[in-house]
Amino acid sequence: MNIKVAKFGGTSMANKEAILKVKDIIQSDPERRFIVVSAPGKRFKGDEKITDLLLASYEEKVNSGDCHIYFAKVRDRFTEIVREFGLTIDINKYLDEVEDNINKSTSCDYAASRGEYLSALVMSEILGFEFVDSAEIIKFNKKGNFDASYTNDLVSKRLSIANGAVIPGFYGTMPDGSIKTFTRGGSDFTGSIIARGVQADVYENWTDVDGFMTADPRIVDNPHIIDFLSYEELRELSYMGASVLHPASIFPLQSTNIPINVRNTFNPSAVGTYILHDTSDKKTSLITGIAGRTGFTTFFVRKALMNNEVGFCRKILSIFEYYDISIEHMPTGIDTMSLIVPNDHLTDGLEFSIIEKIRGEVNPDVIFVYKNIALIAIVGHGMSNQTGTAARVFTALANANINIKMIDQGSSEINIIVGVNGDDLNHAIAAIYHEFF
């Protein structure tokens, strides 16, 4: 029998109605043997996510010594789910333990992880599956980095003896046994870890959309669903804000060629998007997708004969390294260099310190800082074999009266990145979309 790992996000675990859909999906296919769950999300507009309530509980504990006010909301959500399903699990025993441990904890990681932990306990009871705690099988090293090899061995060994299991997403443990979480959205990463460990035939990531879309539906009306997406294309689009799937979730699967299938819990008849190692034989369009986001600053440096000055780029990059600032993009010319950095890496006044250091190190003829920059990625393997793609992008933006601040094309030729004024982001994405789709 084939093996499927199915991960369900926060909206899929939010309430009884959603959980019943999850149950039906799992029970409709006996190949779905390993289930990864997120913490319950919002049930309605204005509702609170369980993880946010747990983090607020930890902050309450830090400020007042006790977390009973915010944790009462967490308790109400889980006791309501258990009551509505008529489960026999003594959920209050687990809730008491979690509340007590939050009050004793010195790190927010424990609190942040408990939504997934409690969600998995409840889901295992609903399904009649075994509960396997991620704390047993997902490990980090002493530096807090994910230990892929050790984890894979533990997952493979532990789940080989389970016919069906529910595993909480989002966390593992440090060598001392303390809880360590991934970044937000890390349940996707947990799902891919489990899929690799059990050598799954497919990793299904169930969410609340029909798959990846060619553009943000808040910007473009009824954008196309992408049928097939490569790992590389996923990374490019996710980085630019297409947040259906955590971009790091592909790493455990890249070397195994296990496909990822993004599906909609609330429309299970939709085939969704398949993410594959190679999509060259499946592409029918020139462009796979378009995504963009605001929040960047550009440092523009010009110096005559810059290309003849050995170490010029290194000196400038070392300044950003000194201030612990990552460079997002670095388009260059013979006498010019642009360095694009995230706004949130620039604390108040830091850009002036950077400018002074650049002047002191390389004595540029001109240096400017451009704020409120948005980056847009036009992504697709088809572009590498087709002439005129960039021309169509630039013409579409010109026709929309949008000025291009920066152009950068990846060496892999699967993406073109343009920088525009932040206020023009949505207009630019719509213009490019309508040119190609």
Are the C-beta atoms of 278 and 314 separated by less than 8 Å? Answer: no
Contacts of 85 (CB under 8 A, 6+ apart): 16, 19, 122, 125, 126
Could you tell me the strand order of the sheet in which 289-302 lies? 336-342, 289-302, 366-379, 415-421, 404-409
pLDDT of residue 384: 66
Distance CA 102, CA 93 (A): 14
**CATH code, 4-208:** 3.40.1160.10
Report the DSSP beta bridge partners of residue 297. Answer: 341
Residue labelled with tokens 């909206």: 11
Return the closest-CA partner of residue 394 out of 427, 363, 418, 367: 418
**CATH code, 289-436:** 3.30.2130.10
- C-alpha neighbours within 13 Å on the C-beta side of residue 336: 10
> DSSP class of residue 156?
H
Q: How far is CA 337 from CA 311, 327, 331, 372, in A?
A: 13, 12, 6, 18
**DSSP assignment of 311-372:** THHHHHHHHHHHTT---SB--B-SSEEEEEEEGGG--TTHHHHHHHHHHHHH--SEEEEEEE
Distance CA 284, CA 63 (A): 56
Could you tell me the strand order of the sheet in which 202-207 lies? 130-131, 165-168, 32-37, 4-8, 202-207, 260-264, 273-276, 228-230
Residue labelled with tokens 């294309």: 233
pLDDT of residue 412: 62
- Domain limits, CATH 3.30.2130.10, in the chain: 289-436
Structural tokens at position 185: 């959205």
Residue 366: is it exposed, middle or buried by C-beta count within 10 angstroms (0-12/13-18/19+)? exposed
Residue type for 337, please? M
pLDDT along the chain (437 residues), means of 10: 94 96 97 97 94 97 95 97 96 97 94 98 97 98 94 96 95 96 85 96 94 92 91 83 74 87 96 88 81 92 90 93 90 88 86 92 92 91 78 93 85 82 95 93
- Domain limits, CATH 3.40.1160.10, in the chain: 4-208
pLDDT of residue 258: 92
Cα 376 to chain centroid, rounded: 17
